[in-house]
Structure 1
């Protein structure tokens, strides 16, 4: 979880006051920085804001971070879909990085999907695979960063591009319903193919009949 800090500062031996806002940082780092700022004795007020703009007091944030620590958090997801047009088959790849109990983990998963009609369908199916893995992991009510090289999928899900095809509308509705059900706050980041090699390889391996699932501590 990332937050920013906003605090009102009163200059020593002066009536001058001003307000500062930090950049986004990890919640644990923000708590430590806030403690250092308060040691100056010249902080009039201090509040944290998460990535959605919601305000938190230091006590509230500290309590939340302790609760989150035992659950999967700091979630980063890569997805990719490969498409065999002749056989209407897609290879799906998903990679999930997360932290839990102070340790870092990675899940790698691939799968074959049949009756797929386009490259975009393959990409949506790969996103859906990643979402199912997040659900199986027990992820809920947290921000999640989704990265893929399909600008169509990520921009349509983010509302930046319109959705004209009925089958793509069905994917969007299905995905949005699951995100709402899990209480996840998605952040969509389109990337180049070179940055998506891990998920791309998983998708290719699925098309070649190589089934992969791994859950590894890093």
Structure 2
């Protein structure tokens, strides 16, 4: 049997770390557990990642880079093909995230990792995510502001926070609405996206609350 390539070793480590972070959280998962799950030695982890902190970051980067590219590409298309329309902008934010969550190659585990990131206080991870992906929210904020010029920046970012929270909840599939056995995953995801987009558009268009 051919020897594992460096890429496959790195990918096995990332997959094992993602599963363990989803199960136990970041603080409670040791590098020894990761190496055992990935069937590699500690030298391989040090070679590819250097530290546990970098490993955590790379688990996010592996998924977030793909999702970010899809979001920004869809946003660019929305702005070009439907200028001034809010729904396509919201679709560009929601649909790639739900697609990632339904990815059979570990998407569900990564959603649980996201939940861990919300629950655990990890300042280094939050700084990493802000530095590498904060621009995505700003791009969507700018696009939405162009559709809703009457909405203050403060109100806009409150509502974007609420949308991001609702999206994370939908990604985790924790809600009251479960996929019926006769409905395909793709159809269920499309329905979830439509309902969330409709809900978000109504919330964003609602009158501002006086401070």
Question: Which TM bucket (shorter chain)?
Answer: under 0.3
In terms of Rg, which structure is larger?
1
Give the helix-richer structure, 1 or 2.
2
Q: TM-score, normalised by structure 2?
A: 0.27
- Structure with the greater relative contact order (CA < 8 A, sep ≥ 6): 1 or 2? 2
Give the strand-richer structure, 1 or 2.
1
